[in-house]
Amino acid sequence: MDSTGLPHSAFVAFQNVLITRYVSAAGLVILLYDHLLTLQDEIEYIWSAPSTVAKTLFLILRYMVPSFLTAQTISAFFATPVGRWLILSFKREAGWPQFQCPMWSKLCKTWTSFATYAGWLSIVISNFLVLLRIWTTLPRNNRLIGWSIVFFVLMQLAGFAVTTWVITTMIPVLIFEHTAGMCTFSSKPKVFALWMPGLFFEVVVFATICWNMLDRPRDADDRITRILFRDGVAYFLILFILRIANVVIAIVAPISLIFVIVFFIWAATTVTTSRLIINSRREAGKAERLRVIENAELQSGDKTGDTRRLRSLPFGRQAKGTCSDE
């Protein structure tokens, strides 16, 4: 590359770095904003529910991803020249040893590996929560539940294997670029493979559930159909589009843009999963509240007094005994 082309390529790479950081920050803002919007429902319908595996996994997902994205945003700032200057100034005043270039590269590789495995774990939790949501719409002892468990375990193991392979291939080419202040690659790794197991899993599960619903009698359960096609279809379509976008960007984008939407989509995926679960619990709480009111009206002679008293109770308190299938 000649002397005239180098500044232009460096300028373009720096622009791409800024775009990546702005898009990632936008994803974090959307995630935190949605978290605040749904916090009241979370407290009412999730925290008040009995302790179950599903509840624990949901809360891990709910708070793990914002924590990682916040840490990523902070680390991205301190990796910039301004941030490094602040760190060096503080260390100089405190008399601490200074970070050398190999130390920044080591931190870069460690954090990238850790974040990649965290992304895989969040996908596992999201897929499992969605499966639990689907199982509640199926009859008990349905063979589809057993097959979906086996398929889920196999696909998540495949996802872990692919994630490990991607990490082992990208770590040797991962470097810290001091001028731009970010982790980058000396050559383009095949990170698109990270999302392939998830894509395959979602397509197969969605197709199977749709086939199962069409195979049911039309008047079997209108509520099941409404719930599945209102929440389930939206969930699978959104996640499918987001993962396709990740794969396309990872294949066609230059090295400096390879992570441009990764963190944004991580945030969007978490928002989608959280909305699905919280909306599900809200509907279950409303249904339980109505059942309690109807039972009270049948068992009490004073319908007006009982109805007024029950309607004044919060949803979460009345639905507390029915939240084990979240």
Residue 245 lies in a domain: yes
- Three-state DSSP class for 176? strand
pLDDT at 67: 92
Residue 9 lies in a domain: no
pLDDT, average across residues 243-260? 87
Which structural domain range is residue 95 located in?
A: 17-322
Full-model pTM? 0.76
pLDDT at 29: 94
Residue 246 lies in a domain: yes
Residue 4 lies in a domain: no
Residue 17 corresponds to which tokens in the numbers above? Answer: 């770095």
Q: What is the pLDDT of residues 68-103, one digit of tens each?
A: 999 888 877 665 555 555 555 655 555 555 555 567
Is residue 211 within 8 Å of 144, Cβ to Cβ? no
- Total domains in the fold of the chain: 1
Cα 114 from Cα 271, distance rounded (Å): 21
Residue 287 lies in a domain: yes
Residue 145 corresponds to which tokens in the numbers above? Answer: 């539940």
Residue type, 56: T
Residue 258 lies in a domain: yes
153 confidence band (pLDDT: 50, 70, 90): very high
Q: Please identify which residue in the block is written with the tokens 């379509």.
A: 237
238: nearest Cα among 269, 193, 195, 275: 269
Per-chain mean pLDDT for the chain: 77
53-79 vs 101-135: helix axis angle to the nearest 10? Answer: 150
Residue with the larger pLDDT of the pair 211 and 199: 199
Asked if pLDDT for residue 187 goes beyond 80, the answer is yes
Residue 148 corresponds to which tokens in the numbers above? Answer: 């979906």
Residue 256 lies in a domain: yes
Q: Please identify which residue in the block is written with the tokens 């039972």.
A: 295
Residue with the larger pLDDT of the pair 85 and 233: 233
Is residue 63 within 8 Å of 166, Cβ to Cβ? no
Residue 277 lies in a domain: yes
Asked if pLDDT for residue 33 goes beyond 70, the answer is yes
Cα 218 from Cα 223, distance rounded (Å): 11
Cα 103 from Cα 289, distance rounded (Å): 58
